[in-house]
Each structure stands twice: as structure tokens, then as C-alpha cells.
Amino acid sequence: MALPAKQQLTYWGIAASLFLLALWFLGQVLAPFLVGGAIAYFLDPVADRLERMGLNRAAATTVISLSALLVAVLLVLAVIPSLASQTAALVEALPTIFHKLQAFLTEQFPGLLDENSVIRRTILSIGDNLKDWGTEVAKTVFSSALSVLNALMFLIVVPVVAFYLLLDWDNMVAKIDALLPRDHAPVIRDLASRINHVLAAFVRGQISVCIVLGAFYSAALMLAGLDFGLLVGAIAGTITFIPYVGALVGGALAIGLALFQFWGDWVSIGIIAGIFAIGQFLEGNVITPRLVGNSVGLHPVWLLFALSAFGSAFGFVGMLVAVPVTAALGVLTRWGIVQYHQSLLYRGIGSRTDLESQKDNP
């Protein structure tokens, strides 16, 4: 006999509270394990396919790990140095960009930027302090022993965790399934299957969209001659998973840099703007429908709210768990609505009377 609903809600509430407390107190410790678990989750279908091709689980995991190591080495050798150099160059160039912006505004709108103008003082302050700020950030990131140690630990722990979780993934799923309460096991399995479908379709598809758009923006901007094209494309592609934000931020940054680099050459500036217009068209009409689909069930506003709420409450770790929690809550909400539509609370007592009369008069 199943436990009363009140006791079930109490137990599930305690479990949710413990989960949130763990995120709150152990966030920094949990981060590499969560990232490693996410990587193992995403790569589990690849391992399953390799097993169907004849490899055992250990061999499949080894092949995937070596392939990932090769990709990481290629990124370190080919892409990351260019990104680092472009980032440093952009930090160096920002004060000059702001001074030129000030000169342009002074020439075009002399009354707007008089000596006592708030806008003039703001631009001067930004231009004078921006380089120092960028240098200070770089020193903090690269010279802090604690930051370097944390980064090294993260880079070491994540692959190890991902390897062992991927190796034992099927066994862990089977053990968790064996722990499910017997009365509710079929319902929990069904809900878990739906959550897995939503999460896999959205996250794997969205990562593919980010990679495709990042590569498109980077290649197109570099071909167009933009000095920091690789960096701008990487930024735009990385934040594409936030609806419209990737294109807006990347487009604003690219057009701003194009105005500085190609001032007077309106054809080149128009090409830069056109690249992001084409990227938005491809994303909305070709890339996202094919790679993500329309049946995932994660509304952009709901996703934005979850990222903001969990990120504000739990930091980086909160943002890591925001998407899976959002997917789970979405599935549970839709399931709850179905249960509500079938309940007497929604249908009323008259529906039960009708059902009883139908049973009495077949």
C-alpha cells in the first residue's frame, strides 16, 4: 500500500531541500563533478552506439576519451592561442576606441560633450580606466596562485570523473532503478524517460547550434577582415543558447569594432551587419529547427528565468543545474496538469455520478 500523499510530499520536500543545501554549501566542490557528470551523460549514447558496433564498455570509453583528448589538443594548439592573443589585443585597443568615439562625438555633437557634460566625464573616465581594468583582470586571472590551482584541479578532476562515470553509467542507472519505491517505479521511470528526452533534445541540440553558429560567425567575420573576428564569433556562438542574446551581443560588438576599423567604408560595415542578419535567419529557420526541433517544451522565457534565478542563488553551479532542473520541472508540470484534468477537482462530482451510472447501465 502506497504512503499517503501528505507523507510523500514531505519526503520529496526533504529531498529537494537537501539538494538545494548541497548546492549552497558545496557549490565549488560539486562544480567539477557536475561538469564531469554532464559530459558522461552527453557521451553515453556514443558509448552505447560503439557497444552495438562490437566494442565492450571499457573499449568504447577509451576510444571516446582518446578522441576527446585529441580534440582538446587541437583546440589548445590551433584555436585557444588565437583567442587569447585577440582578447589581449582587444583589451589594449579599447582605450583607443573610446578616445576615438569621444573625438567623433565631440566633432559631431559639440554641445552634447561640453566640459561640464556628464557624458563627457563618463567617456573620459571609461577611456582612462579601461586599460588599467583589463590589465588588473588579466593579472588577477593569470597570477593568482589560488585561481591557477583551482583551474588545474578543475581540468584534472573533470576528465577523470567523466571517464569513470561514462564507464559505469549503465550500472549506475540500473542501481538507481533498483532503489525506486516499487509502488511508484513505473510512473518515475516514465517521467524520467520524458525528462531525458527533453534534456537530451534541448541541450545536445543547443550545443550543436552554438558550435555551428560560432564557427559560422568566426569564419565569416575573419573573411570579412574584422580584426577580432575569431573572438567575436566565439563570444556570439557561446551565448547563443540564451535566446537572441548571442546575436545581439555579438552583433553589437562586431558592428562597434567595424565602425572603429572601417569608419567611412560603409560597404564593409554593412557586410559585418549582414553576417549577423544571415546568422539569425539561419538559426531561426534552418539550424535550430533541424538540431533542436519544436517539441522540446522548454520555453525561452522559462529558461531565462531559471538561468537567472539559479545563477543568482548558487552562482556557476546553479547555472549548471538550471537547465536539467528546468527540464524536470517542465515535464512534472505537464504531468501534473494531466493528472489535474483527470481529477474530480477539475471534472466535478457530476462526472463521477455519470461514470457510476454508465457502469450500472452498460
- Which pLDDT tens digit goes with each residue over 230-262? 878 888 888 776 666 777 888 888 887 787 777
Q: Is residue 210 part of a domain?
A: yes
> Considering the domain boundaries, does residue 302 fall inside one?
yes
pLDDT for 143: 47
∠ CA 25-31-37, rounded to 5°: 125
| One domain for residues 309 and 250 | no
Whether residue 321 is found in the same domain as residue 268: no
Q: Is 342 helix (H, G, I), strand (E, B) or coil?
A: coil
Least reliable range by pLDDT among 33-42, 80-89, 164-173: 80-89
Tell me: pLDDT of 213 over 50: yes
Determine the Cα–Cα distance for residues 234 and 213; give it in Å rounded to an integer.
Answer: 9
Instruction: Establish if 312 belongs to a structural domain.
Output: yes
Q: Give the span between the Cα atoms of 319 and 233, in whole angstroms.
A: 22
> Which single residue is written with the C-alpha cell 571609461?
126
Is there a single domain that holds both residue 275 and residue 314?
A: no
Q: How confident is the model at residue 153 (pLDDT cuts 50, 70, 90)?
A: low
Lowest mean pLDDT among 100-114, 240-254, 279-293: 100-114
The count of C-alpha atoms lying within 13 angstroms of the C-alpha of 187, restricted to the half-sphere facing its C-beta, is 8
Q: How many domains does the chain have?
A: 2
Q: Is 220 exposed, middle or buried (0-12, 13-18, 19+ CB in 10 A)?
A: buried
User: Both 269 and 333 in a single domain?
Assistant: no
Structural domain contains residue 324: yes
CA 249 to chain centroid = 16
Q: Is residue 250 part of a domain?
A: yes
Per-residue pLDDT, averaged over 62-80, amounts to 80
pLDDT tens-digit map of 37-59: 888 888 888 899 999 998 898 99
Task: Look at 197 and 300; give whichever has higher pLDDT.
Answer: 197
265 shares its domain with 326:
no
Residue 133 lies in a domain: no
Half-sphere exposure of 343 (CA within 13 A, CB side): 8
Residues with Cβ within 8 Å of residue 116, at least 6 apart in sequence: none
Q: Give yes or no for a contact between 280 and 117, defined as CB atoms under 8 angstroms apart.
A: no
Residue written as grid cell 573616465: 125
H helices of the chain, in order, are 5-25, 27-52, 57-74, 80-108, 118-143, 145-167, 169-178, 185-199, 205-223, 229-238, 245-261, 266-282, 288-291, 300-341, 344-347, 349-360
For a pLDDT cut of 90, what percent of the chain falls above it? 2
CA distances from 332 to 56, 242, 337, 357 (A): 35, 23, 9, 33
In this structure, are 193 and 270 located in the same domain? yes
Regarding whether 333 and 286 lie in a shared domain, the answer is no
- Tell me how far apart the alpha carbons of residues 84 and 77 are, in angstroms, rounded to a whole number: 12
Residue 240 falls inside a structural domain: yes
Considering the chain, what is the average pLDDT of its residues? 76
pLDDT value at position 354?
Answer: 53
Q: Which of 231, 228, 199, 234 is nearest to 214 (CA)?
A: 234
Averaged pLDDT for residues 209-223: 87
Residues 217 and 197 in one domain: yes
Same domain, 287 and 194: yes
Q: Does pLDDT of 126 surpass 60?
A: no
Instruction: Assess whether 265 and 339 both reside in one domain.
Output: no
Phi, psi of 252 (to 5 degrees): -65, -45
pLDDT for 135: 54
Give the domain extent around 260: 189-295
